[in-house]
């Protein structure tokens, strides 16, 4: 489990593609400082398992399902990625409950800089819109964020986030451009509430 507080910006060293999978090798001195085989590290919000590691780097296998559902399939050597180690049992929730299980991708519709923050509007898949709520939590590329505005029109599936300078500097959200795609994980509590409601109706 993660909290959406990015520890460092890593860099993709290599992407080795196989028929239905890929192996990512990523530089990340901080997240690998205590890494062991089998540890979990979130790469742009995707929970991956360390299969090899060395001084300042680690490798992880990515299956076809993950490559298709997330943006990891578009990574190339030199790509900058957000990194976070799994939260220890003695850790503190700085963000919100993030599982590292990506629900899909969203696209940047507009970017509006302001004096103290930057507002980013994103287009969401219709199937995910019901899990988004104004002032609710969402993880984008693994970053825990608060939804600052959301469409009230049924035909428009957009939401907005407001990024402070610290977030722009410490994560790869600082390099966003219109039409960029981001990994999205909606609040797991919303999904469980929906599931519980459907079970009760079925009874």
Domain CATH code at residue 37? 2.40.30.20
- Which of 58, 85, 112 lies at the terminal end of a domain, its last residue? 85
Average pLDDT, the chain: 92
Shared domain for 189 and 113, answered yes or no, is yes
70 and 113 in a single domain? The answer is no
pTM for this one?
A: 0.92
How much is the average pLDDT of 74-85? 97
194 and 110 assigned to the same domain: yes
Confidence of residue 45 (pLDDT cuts 50, 70, 90): very high
Q: Among the three residues 24, 55, 85, which one is the final residue of a domain in this structure? A: 85
Res. 188 pLDDT band, cuts 50 70 90: confident
Categorize the per-residue pLDDT at 199 as very low, low, confident or very high, splitting at 50, 70 and 90: low
What confidence score (pLDDT) does residue 102 get?
95
For residue 97, is it within any domain?
no
Q: Is residue 22 part of a domain?
A: yes
Co-location of 75 and 115 in the same domain: no
Same domain, 110 and 70: no
Joined together, the tokens standing for residue 168 give: 């722009």
Tell me, yes or no, whether 93 lies in a domain. no
| Band of residue 202 on the pLDDT scale cut at 50, 70, 90 | low
What are the pLDDT digits (tens) for 119-174? Answer: 999 999 999 988 999 999 999 999 999 999 999 887 789 999 999 999 999 999 99
Give percent above pLDDT 70 in the chain.
97
Determine, yes or no, domain membership for 12.
yes
Query: Do 75 and 146 sit in the same domain of this protein?
Result: no
Nearest alpha-carbon partner for 104 in 183, 4, 194: 183
List, as one string, the DSSP characters of the chain: -B-S---EEEEEEEEEE-SSEEEEEEE-TTTTTT--TT-EEEETTEEEEEEEEETTEEEEEEEHHHHHHSGGGG--TT-EEEEEEPPPTT---SS--B-S---EEEEEEEEEE-SS-EEEEEE--HHHHTT--TT-EEEETTEEEEEEEE--STT--EEEEEE-HHHHHHSGGGG--TT-EEEEEE-HHHHHHHHHHHHHHH-
pLDDT at position 70, please?
96
Tell whether 157 and 128 lie within a shared domain.
Answer: yes
Task: Decide if 120 is inside a domain.
Answer: yes
- Judge whether 197 lies within some domain: yes
Assigned domain for 166 exists: yes
- Tell me the residue range of the domain where 153 lies: 104-202
Domain assignment present for 63 = yes
Q: Please give the tally of structural domains in the chain.
A: 2
């Amino acid at each position: 489990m993660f909290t959406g507080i990015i520890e460092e910006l890593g860099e993709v060293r290599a992407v080795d593609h196989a028929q239905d999978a890929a192996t990512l090798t990523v530089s990340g001195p901080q997240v690998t400082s205590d890494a062991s085989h089998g540890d979990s590290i979130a790469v742009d919000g995707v929970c991956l398992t360390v299969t090899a590691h060395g001084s300042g780097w680690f490798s992880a296998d990515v299956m076809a399902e993950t490559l298709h559902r997330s943006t990891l399939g578009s990574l190339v050597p030199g790509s900058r990625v957000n990194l976070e180690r799994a939260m220890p049992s003695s850790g503190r929730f700085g963000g919100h409950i993030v599982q590292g299980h990506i629900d899909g991708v969203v696209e940047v519709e507009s970017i509006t800089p302001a004096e103290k923050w930057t507002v980013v509007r994103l287009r969401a898949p219709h199937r995910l819109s019901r899990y988004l709520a104004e002032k609710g939590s969402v993880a984008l590329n693994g970053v825990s964020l608060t939804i600052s505005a959301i469409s009230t029109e049924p035909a428009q599936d957009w939401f907005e986030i407001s990024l402070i300078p610290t977030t722009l500097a410490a994560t790869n959200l600082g390099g966003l451009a219109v039409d960029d795609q981001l990994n999205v994980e909606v609040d797991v509590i919303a999904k469980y509430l929906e599931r519980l409601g459907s079970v009760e109706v079925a009874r």
